[in-house]
Amino acid sequence: MRTICFIINSIQQQRCIKRIEEFIENGYQVKAYGFSRSNVVPTQPNNFEIEIIGEFSNSLSYFKRLKLMYKALKPIFDKYKNENIVYYYFLLDVALVCRLLSNQIYIYEESDLMHTYLPTKLLRSLFNFIDRRIIKKSLFTVMTSEGFVQYHFGETPPANVHIIPNRLNLKIESVHKKGKKNTNINSLRFAFVGGARFDSVFNFIKVLTQNFPEHEFHFYGGVALEFEKFRDFPNVYYHGKFSNPIDLPEIYSNIDIVIATYDIKFDNVRFAEPNKLYEAIYFETPIIVSKDTYLAQKVKKLGVGFQVNALNDNEIVNLIQNLTNEQIEEKQKACMEIPKKMTLNKNDDFFEKLKCKLKN
pLDDT digit string, tens, across residues 92-106: 999 999 999 999 999
4-36 per-position pLDDT tens digit: 999 999 998 888 998 999 999 999 999 999 999
Residue 45 pLDDT exceeds 90? no
pLDDT of residue 202: 94
* Coil vs helix vs strand at 175: coil
pLDDT of residue 59: 83
Neighbours of 84 (CB within 10 A): 9
Q: What is the mean pLDDT of residues 133-151?
A: 96
Domains and CATH numbers, the chain: 3-166+345-359 (3.40.50.2000), 172-343 (3.40.50.2000)
Q: What is the pTM of this model?
A: 0.91
Residue 188 pLDDT exceeds 80? yes
Q: What is the overall mean pLDDT for the chain?
A: 93
What lies within 8 Å, CB to CB, of 55 at 6+ separation is 35, 36, 37, 38
pLDDT of residue 149: 94
276-293 per-position pLDDT tens digit: 999 999 999 999 999 999
| Listed residue (111, 116, 145) closest to 263, CA to CA | 116
pLDDT band at 228 (very low <50, low <70, confident <90, very high): confident
Q: What is the largest CA-CA distance in the chain?
A: 67
The residue that leads in pLDDT, 213 or 171, is 213
Are the C-beta atoms of 50 and 78 separated by less than 8 Å? no
Of 52-66, 98-112, 247-261, 344-358, minimum mean pLDDT range: 52-66
pLDDT of residue 177: 80
Please tell me the distance from the alpha carbon of residue 332 to that of residue 45, in angstroms, as a whole number. 35
| Residue 245: cis peptide before it, omega within 30 degrees of 0 | yes
Please tell me the distance from the alpha carbon of residue 245 to that of residue 241, in angstroms, as a whole number. 12
pLDDT of residue 1: 75
Residue 353 pLDDT exceeds 90? yes
Q: What is the mean pLDDT of residues 150-176?
A: 91
Residue 39 pLDDT exceeds 80? no
| Chain-centroid distance, C-alpha 102 | 28
Are the C-beta atoms of 294 and 273 separated by less than 8 Å? yes
pLDDT of residue 265: 84
pLDDT of residue 156: 87
pLDDT of residue 60: 87
**DSSP string across 294-338:** HHHHHHHHHT-EEEE-TT-HHHHHHHHHT--HHHHHHHHHHHHHS
Handedness of CA 202, 204, 207, 210 (dihedral sign): negative
pLDDT of residue 138: 97
DSSP H or E run through 82: none
pLDDT of residue 181: 83
pLDDT band at 243 (very low <50, low <70, confident <90, very high): confident
pLDDT of residue 12: 87
pLDDT of residue 44: 75
Question: 321-342 burial by CB neighbour count: b if 16+ within 10 A, else e?
Answer: eebeeeebeebbebbeebeeee
Give the DSSP letter of residue 103. Answer: -
Please tell me the distance from the alpha carbon of residue 40 to that of residue 234, in angstroms, as a whole number. 31
Please tell me the distance from the alpha carbon of residue 166 to that of residue 15, in angstroms, as a whole number. 7
